[in-house]
Structure 1
Amino acid sequence: MSARSCADLAELRSAFVDDALADADRERLLAHLVDCTACRREVAELRHVRSLLTGSTDPGTAPVDLSHRLVSIAGEDATEPLWTRPFRRTPSGGELPSQRHLLHTRLVAGVLGCGLTVLAVLGMGWAAAPSTDTAQAVDPTRQAVTEFTTVVSAFPLDGRVSAALQGRPSTPGSEAGTPTGVDLTAKPLSEAKAAKLLVRAGQAGDELTYTGTQQVRVTRDDQQIASSVQVSSHGGAGTRLAPADAGHQPAGYTTYVEADSSTRMADADLVDLLTDRYALRGWVAQSFGGRDAVVIEATEPTAHPADGALDGVVARWWLDARTGLLLGQETYDGRGNLDVSSRLTDLRFDAVSDEDAVGAGAAARTTATLTLSRAAELRRDGWICAERLAGLSLMRLRTDQVDDPELVHLVYSDGLTTLSVVEQHGRLSGAPTGSTRNETLGAWVTSGMPTTASWVSGDVVMTVVTDGSRETLAAAVAALPHDEPEQPTTMERVRAGWSRIFGR
């Protein structure tokens, strides 16, 4: 048979295998198959393919010549997966895809699918992550001074000094003031008796009902600050302060109103810190502001000044002989120079009226007082909570909320000098109010009383506040971290996002 006649019978052969021929065409094809071996072989191959497609028999292995023939039919589209063109007719002369190519295509499709899934998971975590832009801190210096004053005003030993000076600018001056002398003919006090009298003075300031005017003067680094506040103590219900010259307050001045007596520092604890750091001595039968008084002084433990001398003396307190109330205080620079003087004048007992309870001020954000044992927990959460700083002991720990705080206030003291470290999440957009840049400290610093230093470490705004010397401030700033802001890695941000999605 000629190749032409075999080609003309191609459709008949396919229909013959499918039992779809009319009788006349069937007889014609059978007559041809008797004499044509090639067409008989093709019919057999077509039947085998039909059985594979219908699953009616064991598929076995397709003949090699049939595989080549089917591939040749696919032509140029042999590399394109069949599932991408389910309804297209395959052009003649092409090749069908090989088994290896199909496996390769499916593998690539699987990898692409997994990749898209991973990208979707990463994208959702990234989008849900908290913003890396931390909130701007709201005037950290002013807030830190409020936190400091709130705590120090509750100290038993004349905490009103810092409240009186809050927000006061310093001015150049040369009048350092003269220290108040001591009558050395009086009977001396033992150190134990002096300590007991200081504890009693703190209690008397809280328990007594009285009014008066607190006059404070600070001389430091050839700068002076002077202020007066009206004091109204309500006999266990708290002590309130109001500016004596309310109509002449500088911009930014804040009047502090002390909270109730339950917030006061433990008198004995502070005096214990004082006696641990300094040596105490005192004398009875003194006079201060026209009232009979007792004087107690603190000296450096290595100094042994002669009676009445000021070399090595860091502070003196005058206590009312009758009530034990603290009448005045002076602190010195250790070389006999007066640093801070404070005295209570116009004193009247049992004369407080409702009109005396005047004053309003900025509120402290830290309203929760934690036990010092919580410091370790805060350290694990990334807060800086040193047990000692600039030679002072950690004595109080306050936060804005008990769980997951945003502001932490650490209070350090030795019973005489107090230092606060206020930490809050955020960043600085510029210089805090009233501050100048000190490159040596790497911080924005304010002068006056109290002195402050603010800077950013990581994602935390750090502010140090102290009523101590500039050396105390510098030592504290140097001991605290000054880390560069940290940017989370991609995976850290994704994990944070999914933690946020699942509420963890």
Structure 2
Amino acid sequence: MSHLHHRVSALVDGELQGRARDRALAHADNCRMCREEIAATIALKQRLLGLPVAEPAANLFSSIGPVVPQGRLREAPLRARAVPRRLLMGVGSVSLAVLSVAYAVGAPNEPVSTLVSPPLEDYTAQFARDSSRTALADSAVSMFTPSGQTDADPHHSATATAAVGESLATDYAPNQSTQWARTSAADDPQAVALLQSAVAAPLTSAYRGTRAIWVADDGEPVTTQVEVNHAPGQGTSFHPSGLSDSSASFVEAGGAALDRFSTNSLTHLLDTFEVSVGGSTRLLGRATVVIEARREGRLAARFWVDEASGLLLRRDLYDVGRLMRSSRFTSLQVTRSAFLSHLPPEVSAPAATALPIQVSSVLQDQGWTCPQTLPGGGSLISLRRLEGVEEGVQATYTDGLVTTSVFEQRGGLDPQSANVLAQTFDRTRLGGSTVYLRSGLPTVAVWQSGQVTYTVITDAVPSAAEDVLSALPHEPVASEGNGNRLRTGLGRIWALLDPTS
């Protein structure tokens, strides 16, 4: 952050909120020029008693008791008597202007004026669109959610899915996989070329078939099958096997901008992982080349690429050496062209305005959390300003392998929404926040930090998902009385202006 300049007045007026105020205070703590500017601004406001910074409550001065900067008087009594003389205009006097400034600066956050009910269905749909357009992502996996399983026919879940799950679990078990020799840590040019062909293949090849998806997070492995039908330039339809037609969905094909999106996410994968050719095998009677992606020598993913079409036939993800996610075609037909005449409903998404990722620092100064990189999530690839009743921002991250969407809304989490979440989500504590968490594919987490409500959706493996959640803010929702707020404010002003603190 550069010098505070125009933000000085906003700081002492209490107009900076949440993380923006914290960043300003942290900067001022290490910047003599900005501390002097804050002191001059406070001195000016001492003389402008007709323009108070904040209107104190009617019972403020009768309820606060003696005003003592927090934690300083007992440590250095002589200095504590001298500094307030300069700051507060005279021995034993405290001006209304300075008290008002302290009252504003001492606020933990602005009062909650908006209650937020995160639209999880819309957010999940947007995540599905984003993740399905990431390079080497499996669109069928993007459409697979635990909620889709609960709608399945009980007989289907108990028989067909269980049978498929048993066979896939055996087939996908790491010890049963063919062991291929590792190549050097540097990216293998042949592996890079094959991955590029896998990104480009859906632009020219039509296909239809069934994908089996196997997930082994916590508890017993879960398997589902999805009927997939893809037409280049038109899009892809998905229909979970055993479910009604109403469960089908459609993702429209993107234009040149989305082609670049996939290319950029492949670049992130090559920047994050070392890729090499692991060997060759046959899948569904088709010759395939197996590409391995490793990070710091540890296996993170395997890709089975069809030599004839370039299509990605199978994709396995590992977490600390353990197979956690797998998706592959169990049947496949490839043609040069196709047209989908009866389309299911298109996956909807919340209205939003795209923003250049270069404005992330500006958004962070405004109190949003959208760093350029996110531990466990990768690099920032997309920013959107969410439209609707509540002010909001969406930041999307990828390491080329998995996708994470962070949705932020101004306001506190609606207690009614929290009660609904508590019925189907696990409830846990992280930092100062109560987090409602549903692990799986995708993992969904909702919580309030300060005066912002966060919704995170990610298809990352468990350890990476944990890193993502831990890296985001988890500030307690403070509720201070007038006395504590004033003492906090005076303590902050003292710490800024005392050169020995």
Same fold (TM over 0.5): yes
Question: Is residue 151 of structure 1 aligned with residue 137 of structure 2?
Answer: no
Residue 321 of structure 1 is matched in structure 2 by 307
Structure 1 residues 41-440: aligned runs within 5 Å: 133-166=112-145, 167-168=147-148, 176-179=169-172, 181-182=177-178, 191-247=188-244, 256-262=249-255, 263-264=258-259, 266-283=261-278, 285-301=280-296, 303=297, 312-335=298-321, 337-350=322-335, 352-355=338-341, 357-361=343-347, 363-365=348-350, 367-400=352-385, 406-426=391-411, 427-429=413-415, 430-433=418-421, 434-440=424-430
| 1:431–1:237 Cα change, 3 Å | same
SS across alignment from 2:115: coil
Residue 81 of structure 2 is matched in structure 1 by none
Q: Is the CA contact (8 Å cut-off) linking 1:140 and 1:461 kept in structure 2?
A: no
Structure 1 residues 1-40: aligned runs within 5 Å: none
Give, in angstroms, the shift of residue 292 of structure 1. Answer: 1.2
Give, in angstroms, the shift of residue 165 of structure 1. Answer: 1.4
Residue 105 of structure 2 is matched in structure 1 by none
Residue 449 of structure 1 is matched in structure 2 by 441
TM-score, length-scaled by structure 2: 0.61
Q: Is the CA contact (8 Å cut-off) linking 2:140 and 2:226 kept in structure 1?
A: no
| 1:291–1:187 Cα change, 3 Å | farther
Q: Within 1, Cα distance between the matches of 2:182 and 2:320?
A: 24
| 1:248–1:217 Cα change, 3 Å | farther
Q: Within 2, Cα distance between the matches of 1:159 and 1:384?
A: 28
| 1:421–1:333 Cα change, 3 Å | same
**Which string of whole-angstrom CA distances, capped at 9 and with x for unpartnered residues, describes residues 376-427 of structure 1?**
2211222111122224433322324589982222122211132221112232
| 1:209–1:408 Cα change, 3 Å | same
Give, in angstroms, the shift of residue 334 of structure 1. Answer: 3.4
**Which string of whole-angstrom CA distances, capped at 9 and with x for unpartnered residues, describes residues 197-219 of structure 1?**
11220111233222222221111
Structure 1 residues 453-464: aligned runs within 5 Å: 453-464=445-456
Q: Is the CA contact (8 Å cut-off) linking 1:432 and 1:444 kept in structure 2?
A: no
Q: Within 2, Cα distance between the matches of 1:186 and 1:469?
A: 23
Q: Within 2, Cα distance between the matches of 1:186 and 1:372?
A: 37
Q: Give, as a single letter, the amino acid of the residue that structure 1 aligns with 2:270.
A: T
Runs of 5+ unmatched residues, structure 1: 1-114, 124-130, 304-311, 491-504
Aligned-CA RMSD value: 3.9
SS across alignment from 1:468: coil
Runs of 5+ unmatched residues, structure 2: 1-48, 57-109, 151-156, 483-501
Higher relative contact order (CA 8 A, sep 6+): 2
Q: Give, as a single letter, the amino acid of the residue that structure 1 aligns with 2:441.
A: M
Q: Within 1, Cα distance between the matches of 2:464 and 2:362?
A: 27
- Percent identity of the aligned residues? 24
Q: Give, as a single letter, the amino acid of the residue that structure 2 aligns with 1:148.
A: F
**Which string of whole-angstrom CA distances, capped at 9 and with x for unpartnered residues, describes residues 354-384 of structure 1?**
34532444x2215433221011221122211
Q: Within 2, Cα distance between the matches of 1:349 and 1:431?
A: 47
| 1:401–1:333 Cα change, 3 Å | closer
Q: Within 2, Cα distance between the matches of 1:391 and 1:285?
A: 30
Q: Is the CA contact (8 Å cut-off) linking 2:133 and 2:261 kept in structure 1?
A: no
Q: Is the CA contact (8 Å cut-off) linking 1:214 and 1:229 kept in structure 2?
A: yes
Q: Within 2, Cα distance between the matches of 1:288 and 1:322?
A: 12
Q: Within 1, Cα distance between the matches of 2:344 and 2:245?
A: 17
**Which string of whole-angstrom CA distances, capped at 9 and with x for unpartnered residues, describes residues 237-264 of structure 1?**
2223233333299xxxx65421332235
Which of the pair has more CA radius of gyration?
A: 1
Give, in angstroms, the shift of residue 344 of structure 1. Answer: 2.0
Q: Within 1, Cα distance between the matches of 2:249 and 2:379?
A: 24
Count of aligned residue pairs for this structure pair:
352
Q: Is the CA contact (8 Å cut-off) linking 1:452 and 1:466 kept in structure 2?
A: yes
User: 448, 457, 471: which is aligned to 1:479?
Assistant: 471
TM-score, length-scaled by structure 1: 0.61
| 1:136–1:118 Cα change, 3 Å | closer
SS across alignment from 1:246: coil
Q: Give, as a single letter, the amino acid of the residue that structure 1 aligns with 2:143.
A: A
Residue 457 of structure 2 is matched in structure 1 by 465
SS across alignment from 1:178: helix
| 1:240–1:161 Cα change, 3 Å | closer
Q: Is the CA contact (8 Å cut-off) linking 1:418 and 1:468 kept in structure 2?
A: yes
Residue 110 of structure 1 is matched in structure 2 by none
Q: Within 1, Cα distance between the matches of 2:283 and 2:342?
A: 25
Q: Give, as a single letter, the amino acid of the residue that structure 2 aligns with 1:233.
A: H
